[in-house]
Amino acid sequence: MTRQLAGMYAALMTGLTDDGAFSPDRQRALNAYVLRQGLAGLYVGGSSGESGLLDIEELLAQQEIVAGDAPDTVLIAHVGAPNLRDSVRLAKNAAKLGYQGLSALPPHSYPFTDAEILDYYSALQAATDLPLIVYEVPIRTGRPIGLETLVAIIDLPNVAGIKYTSTDMFKLSMLRRRAPDATIFFGFDEIYLSGAVLGADGGIGTTYNLLGRLYVALDQAFRSGDLAKAQRLQDTSARFVEALLETGVLPGMKAALRAIGVDAGPTRAPMQMRVDDGEARMAALMARPDFVEWVA
């Protein structure tokens, strides 16, 4: 069964100048690299793109630049802003630019109730005709959304599915049964295979920016029944993520990109490298044969 928007997507990162301003030139250089990796598409303006540290004008500009660079690529715009007005503005802009889908974090600036979260998604899915991918990510929002509420959200008219970034795998299996037609993306790169086994239709991840070819191969190995190969590739992914957890995920990713010649700039303050030798660590990692073979 092929579900809407299914496949492997890079959660696109953001190019910044050395002083932390949005950089169209560095964004285009990053786009060019990611687009060579054979992924199904790009997920634009999400947490991997430092969206919580960007203002809405920068996010609108990023949407436009990516749309211009990727006219033949499936694009999902993340539009989950701290307030619904900005979310709707981002959604309508993405629709105007020809994006194929939308996604959004649930509102999380305050301890919103499940009913308030349902109302938010109801308003957002009605703002355009684009299919909406909702988002379960307790590590970012501070709490999970109840299963019944998630099913109610998925049942809204323009909601196509969910990006599920949680280690509650039993909940994922229940969600797969309760929403058989929904597209489920799994959001933890280092255990993507676990999500695929339980019915995920694809993944959306930060490390796909750098190692997208690996994740495409991992997904293909699983779906063709070559579990041993899928496990080997997942182990390579896990070892890369383990290194990132020491440096900080986004600072480490940008250092790794620089090591292969793609300069996306620094991360925006207050985000910073967690170790003094982060650049050297990531350069050494990217020189290893098990990672070199996956550089696009």
Whether residue 74 has pLDDT greater than 90:
yes
φ and ψ of 10, to 5 deg: -80, 130
43 a catalytic residue? no
- Average pLDDT in the 170-174 region? 98
Q: Do the domain assignments include residue 270?
A: no
The predicted structure's pLDDT at residue 296: 74
The predicted structure's pLDDT at residue 190: 98
Cis peptide before 270 (omega within 30 of 0): yes
Q: Do the domain assignments include residue 16?
A: yes
Q: Do the domain assignments include residue 182?
A: yes
Which residue among 135, 192, 208, 215 is the active-site one? 135
3-state secondary structure of 139: helix
3-state secondary structure of 61: helix
- Alpha carbon distances (Å) from 251 to 13, 50, 58, 247: 11, 11, 20, 7
- Give the model confidence (pLDDT) of 32-41 as tens digits: 999 999 999 9
Axis crossing angle, helix 56-69 with helix 24-34, rounded to the nearest 10: 40
Which structure tokens are listed for 184? Answer: 């489920």
Band the pLDDT of 251: cuts 50, 70, 90: very high
Q: Model-level pTM greater than 0.85?
A: yes
- Give the model confidence (pLDDT) of 182-208 as tens digits: 999 999 999 999 999 999 999 999 999
- Average pLDDT in the 222-231 region? 98
Q: Check residue 158 and report its DSSP letter.
A: T
**Is the sign of the CA dihedral 106, 206, 55, 5 positive or negative?**
negative
The predicted structure's pLDDT at residue 66: 98
Chain-wide mean pLDDT for the chain? 97
Contact at 8 Å (CB) between 9 and 76?
Answer: yes
Q: Considering its fold, how many domains does the chain have in total?
A: 1
229 a catalytic residue? no
Whether residue 216 has pLDDT greater than 70:
yes
**Domain enclosing residue 30, as ranges:** 7-226
3-state secondary structure of 188: coil
> Which of residues 82 and 66 earns the better pLDDT score?
66
The residues facing 98 across adjacent strands are: none
Q: Do the domain assignments include residue 87?
A: yes
Determine what percent of the chain is predicted with pLDDT higher than 70. 100
Q: Do the domain assignments include residue 82?
A: yes
The predicted structure's pLDDT at residue 279: 98
Q: Do the domain assignments include residue 14?
A: yes
Which structure tokens are listed for 143? Answer: 């709490």
The predicted structure's pLDDT at residue 28: 98
The residues facing 132 across adjacent strands are: 102, 159
The predicted structure's pLDDT at residue 27: 98
- Average pLDDT in the 37-51 region? 98
Q: Do the domain assignments include residue 143?
A: yes
Which structure tokens are listed for 163? Answer: 């990006």
Q: Do the domain assignments include residue 239?
A: no
* Domain CATH for 114: 3.20.20.70
Band the pLDDT of 1: cuts 50, 70, 90: low
Which residue among 163, 208, 215, 254 is the active-site one? 163
Alpha carbon distance 196, 168 (integer Å): 14
Alpha carbon distance 96, 87 (integer Å): 14
Whether residue 90 has pLDDT greater than 80:
yes
The predicted structure's pLDDT at residue 160: 98
